[in-house]
Structures are given as structure tokens and as C-alpha cells.
């Protein structure tokens, strides 16, 4: 149309001249729109596809969609794998910590029980020793009061009681030593060490 030619001539002028472009008339506008509509319709009519072309286009679109879905899903899968690895690592650390805590509590309990047992044993030994000292002192006092012929019999009785106490202590020491040996042998078997004769 004529107004397009006029617009082209206006743009060819230098920018130094500020001329106001002339607007096209309404009749020219309607003529331009009618011409463009018919041209677009003609071009769209030429774009119709045959059945094999449509099938090929559909397959190509499907391939593009599946490839895009795989591409889009890959980072998500990688994120899930990383998250799974992190969760597993944290769970392993938690299990190790829980096991360590249990072992620590068990060790503390064993130590406290052993200490109380040891203290009780020491107390019983000191109590036995106190009772023995009292008995010896009483017998000594009684021994001083007795007549000379009974003194010898009482001295023999005290000596035999002291001897049996010494024998009892020696037997206890031997039993303690045997228990330790048995305990060591059990530990060696448990940890796979060979017995050293």
C-alpha cells in the first residue's frame, strides 16, 4: 500500500530532520488487513500434513517428550541418591553413637558394682580381723586368769585356732589365684589368643 511506501521514505531521511510521519487513511488500513488475512489463510492451507507425516511428527514429539522427561528426572534421581547416602551415613553414625553410649554405661555400671563389691569385701575382712583380735584379746585375758595347767591347754587352743585361720587364708589365696587363671583362660579363648603355659 501507499502508506507503507511513505513510511519507508520517512525512515530513509536523516535523524536530524524531525518530520512528523503521516498516518494512513482508514481505507488503506482495512485494505492492508484484508490482504494480510487472505495471505495468512493461504499459507496455513499449505501447511496441512499427510497421515504419514503426522505420524512421523507425533513419534518425533513423543521421543522429544520422553527424552525431556528423562533429562528432567535425572537430577531428581541424583538428588534422591545423594539424600539416601546422607541419611544412611547419619543413621550409621547414630547407631555407632548409641552403641558407644551403651558400652560406656555398661562399663560405668560394672565399675560401680566392682567397687561396691570390693569395698564390701574389704569391710568384711576388716570386720573378721576385728572379731579375731577381740577373740584373741579375750582369750589372752582369760589365759592370764587361768591356772598354769589350764594355760597350756588354752595356749594350744589359741594356737590351733590361729593355725586354722592361716590355713583358711592360704586356701582363699589359692582359690583366688585359680579363679584368676580360669578367667584369663576364658578371655584368651574369647579373643582368640593362644594359652601361654
**Boundaries of domain holding 36:** 1-9+24-45
Do residues 41 and 85 both lie within one domain? no
* Number of domains into which the chain is organized: 2
Please tell me the distance from the alpha carbon of residue 60 to that of residue 116, in angstroms, as a whole number: 83
Do 41 and 99 share a structural domain?
no
Q: Provide the pLDDT for residue 153.
A: 64
Q: Look at residues 147, 164, 189 and tell me which one is the last residue of a structural domain.
A: 147
- pLDDT profile of the chain (197 residues), mean per 10: 48 50 71 64 67 81 81 77 88 91 92 90 84 79 62 64 70 80 80 53
- 35 in any annotated domain: yes
Round to whole Å and give the CA distance between 156 and 163.
Answer: 10
Do the domain assignments include residue 123?
yes
Q: Has residue 92 been placed in a domain?
A: yes
Residue 177 maps to a domain? no
Whether 129 maps to a domain, the answer reads yes
Is residue 73 in a domain?
no
| Three-state secondary-structure class, residue 18 | coil
Same domain, yes or no: 92 and 135: yes
What local confidence, expressed as pLDDT, does residue 125 receive? 85
Instruction: Give the per-residue pLDDT at 4.
Output: 47
With respect to residue 31, please indicate whether it lies within any of the assigned structural domains.
Answer: yes
Query: Which pLDDT belongs to residue 5?
Result: 46
C-beta separation of 146 from 154 below 8 A: yes
Q: How much is the pLDDT for 105?
A: 92
> Do residues 40 and 84 share a domain?
no
What CA–CA distances, in Å, run from 160 to 21, 125, 128, 140, 170?
Answer: 142, 20, 17, 14, 15
Amino acid at each position: 500500500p501507499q502508506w507503507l511506501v511513505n513510511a519507508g521514505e520517512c525512515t530513509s531521511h536523516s535523524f536530524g530532520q524531525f518530520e512528523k510521519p503521516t498516518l494512513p487513511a482508514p481505507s488503506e488500513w482495512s485494505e492492508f488487513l484484508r490482504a494480510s488475512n487472505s495471505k495468512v489463510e493461504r499459507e496455513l492451507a499449505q501447511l496441512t500434513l499427510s497421515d504419514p507425516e503426522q505420524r512421523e511428527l507425533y513419534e518425533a514429539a513423543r521421543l522429544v517428550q520422553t527424552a525431556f522427561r528423562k533429562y528432567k528426572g535425572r537430577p531428581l534421581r541424583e538428588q534422591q541418591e545423594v539424600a539416601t547416602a546422607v541419611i544412611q551415613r547419619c543413621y550409621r553414625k547414630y547407631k555407632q553413637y548409641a552403641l558407644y553410649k551403651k558400652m560406656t554405661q555398661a562399663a560405668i555400671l560394672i565399675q560401680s558394682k566392682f567397687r561396691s563389691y570390693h569395698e564390701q569385701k574389704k569391710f568384711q575382712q576388716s570386720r573378721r580381723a576385728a572379731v579375731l583380735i577381740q577373740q584373741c584379746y579375750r582369750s589372752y585375758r582369760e589365759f592370764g586368769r587361768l591356772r598354769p595347767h589350764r594355760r597350756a591347754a588354752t595356749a594350744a587352743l589359741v594356737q590351733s585356732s590361729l593355725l586354722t585361720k592361716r590355713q583358711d587364708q592360704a586356701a582363699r589365696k589359692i582359690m583366688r589365684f585359680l579363679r584368676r587363671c580360669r578367667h584369663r583362660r576364658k578371655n584368651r579363648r574369647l579373643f582368640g589368643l593362644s594359652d601361654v603355659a
